[in-house]
Structure formats: structure tokens, C-alpha cells
Chains A and B, each alone.
Chain A
Amino acid sequence: MNPALKFLYVAAAILLTGAAGMAVAAGADLGQTAKQVTNWTAIGMFAIFVGATLWITKWAAAKTKTAADFYTAGGGITGFQNGLAIAGDYMSAASFLGISGLVFASGFDGLIFSIGWLVGWPVITFLMAERLRNLGKFTFADVASYRFAQTPLRSFAATGTLVVVAFYLIAQMVGAGQLIKVLFGLEYIYAVMLVGVIMMMYVLFGGMTATTWVQIIKAVMLLTGATFMAIMVLYQFNFSPEALFTKAVEVHSKHDAIMGPGALINDPISAISVGMALMFGTAGLPHILMRFFTVPNAKEARKSVAWATTWIGYFYILTFIIGFGAVVNLIPNPTDYFVGGDIAKGLKGGGNMAAVHLANAVGGNMFLGFISAVAFATILAVVAGLTLSGASAVSHDLYASVWRHGNVDSATELRVSKITTVILGIVAVLLGIIFEKQNVAFMVMLAFTVACSANFPVLFMSVLWKNCTTRGAVAGGTVGLILSVALTIVSPAVWEAALGNPKGSALFPYASAAIFSMTAAFFVIWLVSILDNSKQAQKERALFDDQLTRSETGVGAATASTH
């Protein structure tokens, strides 16, 4: 393994310097974001991050010998560490740049969004965390299929995982490509390749151990950087939010309107539907659920979510201050931060760049480099987590359980996960290239809608409802999956904004399908289960008591490490 690792190190170094060098020579190729001047400070900082994380990957590689190490870091992560890693998975570039950009553009509305992203966490804590840990081993399918027929349920769960991972991956890869043009001043294609190659090295060699530590490092960097920005902003106003808001209302073109809810939520159905997608989708995201198996026991699993909730909540408060900080720092200096010095033409590099420009305003060029590097590292780390969960679904659920019926040794399973990682890496790069010119703003929302309509109802009912059966779970989950994707396609975000059909032509008028697709999934699970009186169904119901006892006490739960 070592010579191969060395080879990849060299390859990465060549790729990094090569990409940077070529970009200087390359002409301007304008996409959705305008390419900016090459930022060597940011590239240097990012190179340091990559160097440090690859060094950690080398350390993690020595510890990654079995399939259990690969999937769950041998179960040796503490609750506090795992909390940071979960927060890292969740605080994506979209939430950092997107929410601060939304606050910059419309003030109060940004807060509504960040609250939505947060409120799923307590529900996971109260209802799911310890049951997941007590019943699961490597993937959420382990939990959902505990007392069910393995082949249909795991096939469904793996499909649900891969669909969510694919939509999420597209959003991240395209985001990486757009960001690199603005942050580093490099071409789109380099970003996609860079993310693909480095992410593959993390996952391939370091498995869950490396992926977790990359996530932790990134989370600490992001929280530190955001804290510094928020403090600098508040410092300008003697730590008086009222003074900050007063100044913001004075300079913002919408004036006092930024202090109240605007156009973000208009009809109550969309509001509730989006809320459901965010709240319950979080509990169905495979790369998040997977993290519950990396801690030694239920106690640590609960602690992880409590820490994750704390960091994520804190982070969202920071993004709110950062958004307002951008209003008061950027708008008075149009020549530095706006296209052609004209506020009406928008921020240089696009509306998501508010936090990045603010970094320059409060911390100078070095700090701008730091924040740019962190923003890009964020995508890299999230992509690594997604790939790992996709690879686990293929190797553990599809290959080891469905294809080989569990008759497979750890070494073979590990090899299959690694092959899948490479394939997924290539697929991610290809998706990034294919979707370059597409509007992918809806992709993350779609991933959440599928997660809350397919994965979550199956997981929830299989664990908590005695009468649930394999047929019910698979039928309901499939209905949820198909309905959530189909309704999203005919909703305004895809039908009109992404596919370019005329305004008002979308068949489904709401912002999210969740309220219908999730309800339908639960209803079908219930209906098919109560109508199911097969031998298999009776056996499954009889197994519920054992499942319940294990999920409530942890007796018989998968142990922390494979000794």
C-alpha cells in the first residue's frame, strides 16, 4: 500500500501545481460564475489543508485493515469528535455561502432557512440516535432490515442511499466547479478533477477514519473562521446588534424590509412541506446516519448529536451575523466588491460570495485566502463522506448481503468497497462535467425530499411499529421515492427554473413535495403491512420484541471494535 500511496501523493502534487500553472495561461471561459484573478494565497492555504489531510490519511491507512475499519473507523470515535464530524458533514459550502448570501440579499429570510436546517437534529436525538446505534452495524439498511427479508429491503435501502448520494453529489461537484473559478481563479474542470482525486485518496486509503478526521479539521477551521468574522463585525458596532441592524437598514436597498419576513415563504403548504423535508430528511441522509455506527455505544451516539446540534446552531447564528456584516461592509464600498462598481449588478462572483468578500473586508487578503480554502475544503470533505456512504451501500448491502447472502469475508468486502469508491469517484467527476451548465440549485432540496420520503419512513416504521412488514416497507418506501422525484421534476424549481419551461406551467405548484410524498410513503407502509398476512409477515412481527429489547437496551448490539 505504501508505494501506491506515495505515487498518489506525487500525482496530487503534480495535479495541484499543474492545474495552477495552466490556469494562468488559460484564457477566460465564463460560465455561471465569472472566473476571478488567480488567488495564490487561497491556493497555498488549500494546498496546506490537502497536505495535512493526506498526512492524516496515511496515518489512517495503517489503521484501516478490515471492512469494519473502513465503514466505521472500528467504532472508536468519541461522541465529541463524532459531533464535530456530523456538524462538518452538515455545514456544507451551500449552508455557509448560501445562507450568508441569502441574509445579505434579504436579511431576515436567511434566518428562516437556517432554522429549518437545524430542527431535524433534536428529532433524531429523541427518536432515532440510540436505536440506530443499538441495531446497526455499518449502514442504515442494517437497522431497517433487522427483522425483515434481507434481499428486498437492502436492495431498496441501497437504491434510496444511491439516489440521495447522487443528487447531493451533483450539487457538491457543480458547486466545487463554480466556486473554484471565483475563489482560486481556476477553471471549472480542475475543481471537478481535484475534488474527485483527493476525495478518492481519503476514502480509498483512510476509509471512515480519514473521512472523519478530514471532517473534524474542516469543521474546526470553518467554525474558527466564521467566529472570527462574526466577532470582527460585532466589534465594529461595540457588540450591539441593534447598532449593526440600524446601519444595515440604512445602507441596504430594501431598507427596513430586511428586518421582517419577505417573499421566502408565501403559501403555508410550501412552508410546511419544506419544513418537513428539512426536519425529517436529515434523519434519512445516509452519510449522516452512517456516522452513528462510528461511536462505541448509545451514550456516545446521543452525545454526538447533542454536540452536532450545538455546533450547527452556533454556526447558523454566526452566518446570520456574517450576512449582516456583509451588508454594512460591502455595500458602502461598491468599487471593491460589486461588478463594475454598480450595486445593481450584484456582487463580484455572484450572490453567494458575500461571506468571502466580507472575509477580505474584515481580515485582509490572508484571511480571504483562508476562508476561500475552507469553503473549498468543505466541499471536498462532504463529497468524501457521500462517497463513503455510497460505497458502503454497494459493498455491504448489495454485494455482501444481497449478492453473496452474507457469505463473504471481510477482506473481499473491503476490496469491493474500494473498487466502488473508485467507480463512484469517476461517476462524481462525470456528473460534475455533465451538469456544469445546468441550474442545480434544487438538487440538495431534492436529496432531502427523497431522504424524508423514502429512507426515513422505512427506517422509522421498521424500528418503531411492530406490524410493519418487508412488503409494507418496500412498497411504501418505493412510493415515497418515486413520488418525491416525480413531483420535484414537475415543480417550479425544476420544471420552470432548471428546464426552462414558461412560468406557471409547472403541474405541482409547491416548493417541496415532502408533505405529499412522505405522507404517501407512511400511508402505503401502513396499508400494505396490515394487509400482509403471509408466513414471512407473521415471522417478522414475532421478531419485533427481540428487536425492541435490543434497540432499547443495547444488549447484543454490534461491539465497538472487531475483537
Chain B
Amino acid sequence: MAQETWERIRSNPKFQAFVNKRNNYSIVMSILMIITYYGYILLIAFDKPFLATKLGEGMVTSIGIPMGVGVILITIVLTWIYVRRANTEFDTEAEAIIKEATK
């Protein structure tokens, strides 16, 4: 039974478009994450003094600390942005495609 449904889903041009859209979005988000993380790591590997620069005149906090906490926050925020879109927009589209195939 699932077999026939799969074939009908695949023959729907909306399905290919949907899969491409969601996959592109996943890849863009993954690349953003990888750039953020490896950017930070490479900065540590190649430019330690920059990360140790003080935030302001007479301050102790270095620029690397808010940046590090920033990477953690970006990680959380990117995840929620993706999940929010996937669980609303993408799931609605997927449901519509499945409905067309099963009616």
C-alpha cells in the first residue's frame, strides 16, 4: 500500500520542488553553522591575540568571550529557526502532497 502511495507522491511535480526547497534550506543552514563554528576555531588557531583583545578601554572582558557565548546562542537560534519553518510551512506542504496522493 505504501508502495503505491510513494509512486503517486513521486509523480507529483510539487514533491520534487518541495524536496529541493527543503534540502536547499537544510544545506544553507548547515553551511551557516559550519562557517560560524570553524570560523571561530580557525580564529583561535591563527589569531589568538585578536580574541584576547579587551572589549573596551580599562576593561578585563576579552572579545573572545562574548563571541564564544555568541556562537552558542547562534547554534540554538539557528536550530529553532529551522525547526519552526520545518514544523509549520514544510509540514503543511508535505501534508498537502500526501493528501493528494492518498485521496
B-binding residues in A (CB < 8 A):
108, 111-112, 114-116, 118-119, 121-123, 125-127, 130, 241-242, 245-246, 249, 256, 259-261, 265-268, 271-272, 275, 279, 298-299, 302-303, 305-306, 309-310, 313-314, 316-317, 320, 545-546, 548-550, 552-556
Contact = CB atoms under 8 A, between A and B. Distances in A.
A494 to B, nearest CB: 23
Specify the main secondary structure of chain A where it touches its partner: helix
Given A272-B38, A556-B6, A261 B79 contact: no
B80 to A, nearest CB: 5
A550 B41 contact: no
Contacts of B26: 126-127
Contact of A275 (B41, B79, B82, B91): B41
A306 B80 contact: yes
A260 B78 contact: no
Given A122-B78, A272-B41, A259 B33 contact: no
Interface of B: 2-3, 5-6, 9-10, 15, 18-19, 22, 26-27, 29-30, 33-34, 36-38, 40-42, 44-46, 48-49, 51-52, 59-62, 64-65, 68-69, 71-73, 75-76, 78-80, 82-83, 86-87, 91, 94, 97-98, 101
A381 B44 CA distance: 34
13 contacts: A108-B65, A111-B65, A122-B78, A126-B29, A241-B65, A249-B60, A260-B64, A267-B45, A268-B42, A302-B83, A309-B76, A313-B72, A556-B2
A118 B86 CA distance: 21
Given A108-B65, A556-B6, 4 more contacts: A122-B75, A123-B33, A302-B87, A553-B15
Given A122-B33, A125-B83, A555-B9, A271 B75 contact: no
Specify the main secondary structure of chain B where it touches its partner: helix
A259 B68 contact: no
Given A115-B40, A121-B75, A275-B38, A552 B19 contact: yes
Contacts of A310: 76, 79-80
Nearest to B33: A122
A548 to B, nearest CB: 8
Nearest to B25: A126
A351 B61 CA distance: 24
Q: What 3 A-B pairs are tightest by C-beta distance, nearest first?
A: A260-B52, A556-B2, A268-B45
Given A115-B37, A119-B75, A259-B60, A265 B44 contact: yes
Contacts of B73: 313
Contact of A303 (B19, B36, B48, B83): B83
B42 A118 contact: no
Nearest to A112: B44
Contact of A118 (B72, B80, B91, B94): B72
Contacts of A125: 79, 82-83
Contact of B86 (A123, A241, A260, A302): A302
Given A122-B75, A272-B41, A303-B83, A549 B9 contact: yes
B65 A555 contact: no
A115 B52 contact: no
B69 A549 contact: no
A251 to B, nearest CB: 12
B60 A126 contact: no
A112 to B, nearest CB: 6
Nearest to A123: B30
Given A108-B65, A306-B79, A555 B38 contact: no
B61 A261 contact: no
A121 B36 CA distance: 14
A211 to B, nearest CB: 24
Nearest to B73: A313
A123 B48 CA distance: 27
B82 to A, nearest CB: 6
A553 B30 contact: no
Contacts of B41: 112, 116, 265, 271-272, 275
A317 B98 contact: no
A259 B44 CA distance: 13
A126 B44 contact: no
